[in-house]
Chains A and B, each alone.
Chain A
Amino acid sequence: EPEVTQTPSHQVTQMGQEVILRCVPISNHLYFYWYRQILGQKVEFLVSFYNNEISEKSEIFDDQFSVERPDGSNFTLKIRSTKLEDSAMYFCASKRDSNTGELFFGEGSRLTVL
């Protein structure tokens, strides 16, 4: 069964460093997302991406965050200058249908900012 894959599974970084989290969505999916889950808290929407542009973003997704689909298969989340509060599990998701389809999530990338 096709799945969303994410790398790395765990990254530890120093505050102020740049981090790139990578995702390979399911191949025939057209809509891509990043969510995050701070330990013990709920899953929060960050950004949605369709047709090579951001379609919606949350207030969390400030100027320190960016997304890119550089080569038609990877979908990346970049955090320019990490803060302690960016420590979380970051989930990539994709879906095929624009309106009623369910999201398929990756296993997550755990980011620890020291």
Chain B
Amino acid sequence: AQSVAQPEDQVNVAEGNPLTVKCTYSVSGNPYLFWYVQYPNRGLQFLLKYITGDNLVKGSYGFEAEFNKSQTSFHLKKPSALVSDSALYFCAVRDSNFGNEKLTFGTGTRLTIIP
């Protein structure tokens, strides 16, 4: 079975400060990990993914995430937050086993950037 935990329902950060949105996962095989962002009344928008290779992956809008196998984590980070980063963020995992098409999402973290 595969699962994702986002331990924080809400994260508040002052504009210009660094931000971190936490994610931990559980899979039986190797993980494929994704971050998506959802703006109000919109669909899910892909930010970045980890498949293999460098543990630090860079994505859209200045976001990056670090894969940590020993801690089974994939935290989303940004060095300097913008008010426009305020949105709902979802971490997702898929076990790399062939034939597994199911992407499992976390419960989401609402990020609010305070001007």
Q: How far is the CB of A1 from chain B (nearest CB, A)?
A: 11
Contact: B106 with A45, CB < 8 Å?
no
Interface of chain A residues 3 through 61 with chain B (CB within 8 A): 4, 31, 33, 35, 41-45, 48, 50, 55-56, 58
Contact: A103 with B46, CB < 8 Å?
yes
Number of A-B contacts (CB under 8 A): 56
A42's partner among B42, B99, B101, B105 (CB-CB below 8 A) is: B105
B44 contacts the other chain (CB 8 A): yes
B107's partner among A33, A42, A103 (CB-CB below 8 A) is: A42
Q: How far is the CB of B85 from chain A (nearest CB, A)?
A: 19
Query: With a CB–CB cut-off of 8 A, which chain B residues contact A55?
Result: 99, 101
The count of chain B contact residues (Cβ–Cβ below 8 Å) is: 24
Give CA–CA (A35, B92) in the complex, Å.
13
Query: With a CB–CB cut-off of 8 A, which chain A residues contact B103?
Result: 33, 45, 103
B55 contacts the other chain (CB 8 A): no
| Closest partner residue, chain B, to A44 (CB atom) | B105
Contact: A99 with B44, CB < 8 Å?
no
Q: Mark contacts of B10-22 with chain A using CB atoms, 8 A cut-off: 1 yes-contact digit, 0 otherwise.
A: 0000000000000
Query: With a CB–CB cut-off of 8 A, which chain A residues contact B46?
Result: 102-104
B44's partner among A45, A50, A105 (CB-CB below 8 A) is: A105
| Closest partner residue, chain A, to B108 (CB atom) | A42
Q: B residues within 8 Å of A by Cβ?
A: 32, 34, 36, 42-46, 49, 51, 90, 92, 96, 98-108
When A and B form their complex, which 9 residue pairs have the shortest distance between CB atoms, in order from nearest? A48-B101, A105-B43, A43-B105, A105-B44, A107-B43, A42-B107, A56-B101, A100-B51, A102-B46
